[in-house]
Chains A and B, each alone.
Chain A
């Protein structure tokens, strides 16, 4: 079984590039050039240099002793929360802005939900002196005020989106509409492994640095590159794909993806795409999608804005379909409890997205000698208000 993209831009029956003709030249330009640019030594050098000296990579792989004791396995945390700007998102934005520069683009657009990808994009635009517009659902601008101000301080223009349900999916629609109208000088930095081919593959390759480092660090710390299990949360799926990427063909490593169940998978307020979705087409790719019987996209719900998306990346849909990865989900409540548990046991307040991955620990059975890596995709600073509202700590 092949788990990476094929020559037609597909992962099994998912993927493709279902875009209006207006976007064809842009996406085609990317498709024709991304692999060549990314493998160019001068690109590699600049990318790795920025990851090391600007982002602060490699991020530590930390053995969480008290958490290990509680769950009866050797649990390691991949500390993406220690990246500059506080999440894994910046691995991708550094890569894409370097690519955009080489394609001669002058300005950047992005969508954002929680604001983490928006901040990571605004950051690299400041770094490169490029113009930056971030589309953000009006509801999310109200839910995530500090990130809106961070983006503005960094010099980005934040455009509140009032169409549709005014959240992440609508911000993505609006970014695409803007790109349709401004096709020549603008690059669209998509924030996850979603969108038309080559985006899911390109973003996965930029995030793959996570599992590249994991292999080295595990080898040094445990004597073996491969853990027994890797656990990561999935919104669109970029941090999970980064953590899985180098292990896709290592079938002895169990890959565990955790989706947001919101108030419960069957509550009508959930974002658990693989549990609730059907094959469909949104934002340029064929994937699993939460939709009604008539093919209208259902508005998802999660306490974490970063997981509040009605689809998943096509590669994840394929990992689910082929049973290469196990898909679990965690409710709002389970995630909050897990987030507070990590804070108390290890002195690390995680992003609520990442807390969903931690919540899977209590749903799995471990042997004492199991080596388990949880990808801690981000830190909880941005979620302080949600923690405070939750109150039970």
Chain B
């Protein structure tokens, strides 16, 4: 069974998914970040493939993408770094990235490498559902990769149902109209939207992302879903203290309010 499904079968609430950009802060930070995140309480790790033009990302993740590329990060190198990752951790791993580097490598070869290193799911923001069904689904399935779709406050009920059908792990609920970036509160209008989706009783669990930054926003989002995704706030924490063995446990403890 896919590690993601195993997680969702055994844990129903407060699931913490943490995003980081591969190649940030240092070219070779990848394995250490994964190891520290899985040891200190993350449930899923989303590994960002850096891209020159990350159109759905705000300034924090744009900057981490740029720094990663300046450090010399590439998709080939990332797969190299992840070669032995399954000897270290069984935490579900999801690759997040824009489509162009994937297409450049070749979708089949990309999926094959994902399977080789033990990736469980993919988040490709510029791959729409229809395109996925027509051209990608078959290959992803062949290599045991689950595709995760975004739903937003504007996504119609019909479309949400279609995405719920097209995936078998989780849905990524974008918390508000906008790009990625840490925010310190959740607004009333967002809660209406969370409640609306919750009432739809989808077959897959949903995780809420974009703007989740601390214990307060994490706990609030988790009330309306199976958990939440944190990206920019984690990147900020890594940027502030690049001693990963300090900053990562400190950050996770602050989110999960462990002392």
Please report A residues at the B interface, Cβ cutoff 8 Å: 16-22, 24-25, 163-164, 169-170, 173, 176-177, 180-183, 278-284, 286, 289, 291, 293-297
Please, could you name 6 A-B residue pairs with CB atoms under 8 Å apart, sorted by A? A20-B125, A20-B126, A25-B154, A163-B59, A180-B55, A284-B126
Q: How many B residues touch the partner, as a band? A: 35 or more
A183 to B154, CA, bound (A): 9
Q: Which residues of B contact A170 (CB under 8 A)?
A: 53
Contacts of A281 in B (CB 8 A): 98-100, 103, 126
User: Do A293 and B150 form a contact, CB below 8 Å, given A18-B127, A18-B131, A20-B55?
Assistant: no
* Contacts A21-B155, A25-B155, A286-B103 supplied; 8 other A-B pairs, CB < 8 Å: A17-B128, A163-B59, A177-B56, A177-B179, A279-B103, A281-B103, A295-B51, A297-B52
Chain B residues with CB below 8 A from A289, complex form? 100
| Chain B contacts for A293, CB-based, 8 A | 104
Give the contacting residue for B53; candidates A180, A286, A297; CB below 8 A. Answer: A297
Measured between beta carbons, the chain A residues less than 8 angstroms from B74 are 294
A291 with B178, Cβ < 8 A, contacts A20-B150, A21-B150 known: no
How would you classify the secondary structure of chain A's contact residues: helix, strand, loop or mixed?
mixed
B178 touches A181 (CB 8 A): yes
In the complex the two chains form, what is the Cα distance from A176 to B59 in whole Å? 14
Q: Nearest-CB distance from A82 to chain B (Å)?
A: 36
Evaluate contact between A294 and B53: CB separation under 8 angstroms: no
A295 adjacent to B174 (CB under 8 Å)? no
Q: Which residues of chain B have C-beta atoms less than 8 A from A286's C-beta?
A: 103
Does B151 interact with chain A (Cβ within 8 Å)? yes
B 39-69 to A, binary, CB cutoff 8 A, 1 in contact else 0: 0000000000001111110110010001001
A19 to B154, CA, bound (A): 14
Least CB distance from B23 to A in Å reads: 11
Task: Say yes or no: is B89 at the interface (Cβ < 8 Å to chain A).
Answer: no
Residue of A nearest to B54 (CB): A173
Among residues of A, the one whose C-beta sits closest to the C-beta of B97 is A295
Q: Is B102 an interface residue (CB 8 A)?
A: yes
**Complex-state Cα separation, A293 to B75, whole angstroms:** 10
Chain A residues within an 8 Å CB radius of B155: 21, 24-25
Name the B residues within 8 Å of A296 (CB-CB).
51-52, 69, 101
Bound complex: CA of A164 vs CA of B51, how far in Å? 11
Nearest neighbor of A180 in chain B, beta-carbon distance: B179
Contacts of B103 in A (CB 8 A): 279-281, 286, 295
